[in-house]
Amino acid sequence: MRRKIVAGNWKMNLRFQEAEELLDELATRLEKEQRSGDVEVIVCPPFPYLEMAYDLGTDEEDPNMVYFAVGAQNVSEHEKGAYTGEVSAAMLSSMNIEYCIVGHSERRKYQGETDLMVARKVESLLQNGIVPIVCCGESLEERESGNHFKVIERQLTEGLFHLEPLDFSRIIIAYEPVWAIGTGKTATPEQAQEVHAFIRNLIQEKYGKETAKQIPLLYGGSCNPATAPELFAMPDIDGGLIGGASLKAGDFISIINSFE
Ligand code: PGA
């Protein structure tokens, strides 16, 4: 059985006090509510809130009791040194951060993050024991011109396929069509499944059947409580990377409970 995962990508939202309230509500409700199945919940707030997220997501008295794990939204490709404003994988690891999003389309678009930078960031994270959540996905133009499979294959080949099998087996991949992000236009379950099956097939060709079978593939892009159940029921969709809907505790928890 593959792992089921729901990760919240808060992006650049919420002030400190609002973040504290949301984290507190999530922890309380995830502790109390019966959760369907065994879903890994990950919260990815902005850097300044990571420590608070870790503290509120983990039981003070019993560190094995985790309501949600914590991920960063970005990491430097460099190890350390004179890179003003950057945050290294070693720093994240020293704060018990377990996951980190890499190659999100917003970073590719606004910060010029390239496949080569994704490759370096992934390596740095893995060396520091952090699980990369690597995003891929095509723009509307690329889909309309029928190039979406080609784009995704390039992103995965150049960003990930240099990894040794053992390292590769530790990552999580998120398919996020750019045209679906923040637009309210969720991909249909069939559209998402088609790409997820394509990604799994690429992994199988490169790393073999066993690895392909166990890598979690998340869908992201306007995923909400209404669309999550059908998406998560698809055979190659193992959960979601949730933006807007992760900023409301009720919506995020409904999505977590959307697995059959
Ligand atoms: P969205 O964002 O759910 O707001 O579309 C998803 C993401 O960008 O990770």
pLDDT tens for the chain, 260 residues long, are 899 999 999 999 999 999 999 999 999 999 877 555 589 999 999 999 999 999 999 988 888 889 999 999 999 999 999 999 999 999 999 999 999 999 999 999 999 999 999 999 999 999 999 999 999 999 999 999 999 999 999 999 999 999 999 999 999 999 999 999 999 998 999 999 999 999 999 999 999 999 999 999 999 999 999 999 999 999 999 999 999 999 999 999 999 999 98
Separation of alpha carbons 239 and 81, rounded Å = 36
Query: What distances in angstroms separate CA 65 from CA 49, 103, 111, 254, one per listed residue?
Result: 20, 30, 36, 21
Separation of alpha carbons 94 and 72, rounded Å = 13
104 is catalytic: yes
Pocket test for ligand 1, best of 175, 179, 222, 224 (most atoms within 8 A of CB): 222
Give the pLDDT score at 260: 85
217 three-class SS: strand
| Ligand 1 binding pocket, CB closer than 6 Å | 9, 176, 181-182, 220-223, 241-245
Give the pLDDT score at 34: 55
Atom 9, ligand 1: which residue's CA is nearest?
243
Give the pLDDT score at 37: 55
Atom 3, ligand 1: which residue's CA is nearest?
243
Give the pLDDT score at 35: 57
Give the pLDDT score at 36: 53
Atom of ligand 1 nearest to the CA of 183: 5
Kindly provide the b/e burial profile for residues 49-59, where b requires at least 16 CB atoms within 10 angstroms of the residue's own CB: bbebbbebbbe
Kindly provide the b/e burial profile for residues 146-170, where b requires at least 16 CB atoms within 10 angstroms of the residue's own CB: eebbebbeebbeebbeebeeebbee
User: What angle in degrees, to the nearest 10, is found between the helix axes of 16-32 and 50-57?
Assistant: 20
The residues, any chain, with a CB within 8 Å of residue 181's CB and separated by 6 or more, are: 105, 106, 137, 220, 221, 222, 243
Separation of alpha carbons 114 and 108, rounded Å = 6
pTM of the model: 0.97
Query: What distances in angstroms separate CA 155 from CA 2, 23, 103, 173, 244, one per listed residue?
Result: 23, 33, 9, 11, 24
Separation of alpha carbons 232 and 258, rounded Å = 7
Adjacent-strand bridge partners of 7: 42, 241
